[in-house]
Amino acid sequence: MRCFLQAKIHSARLTGANVEYNGSVAVCPKLLEASGLLPNERVDIYNIDNGNRLTTYIIEGESGEIGLNGAAALKGSPGDRVIIAAYTWLTAQEMREHIPRVVIVDENNQIAEVRG
């Protein structure tokens, strides 16, 4: 088996960073639905603006929200652009047919395009 991109939300803007919250990344419900990502799923977050990377898990946020919480909040500031990515392990057969889901968002965290 090999590890492949399962889904990602690309160029989302952080709407908040709360170090006092009990950890995780809050993600807009519409973006969760479009990407197929689920609450409590492990994700990597790549901050496009400062290069920071981290691993955490998803919680369902409010409409338009992308918020870093707990220690993750130290890795970004409101307005930073981030990529939220999840990966999956695939067999040789699954690799041939796999197409990751990519959700590209605009500056207001609204869906601009869905691929895959």
Residues designated catalytic:
24, 57
**Number of Cβ within a 10 Å radius of residue 36:** 14
What is the Cα–Cα distance from 28 to 67, expressed in whole angstroms? 9
DSSP β-bridge partners for residue 104: 10, 113
CB 42 within 8 A of CB 86: yes
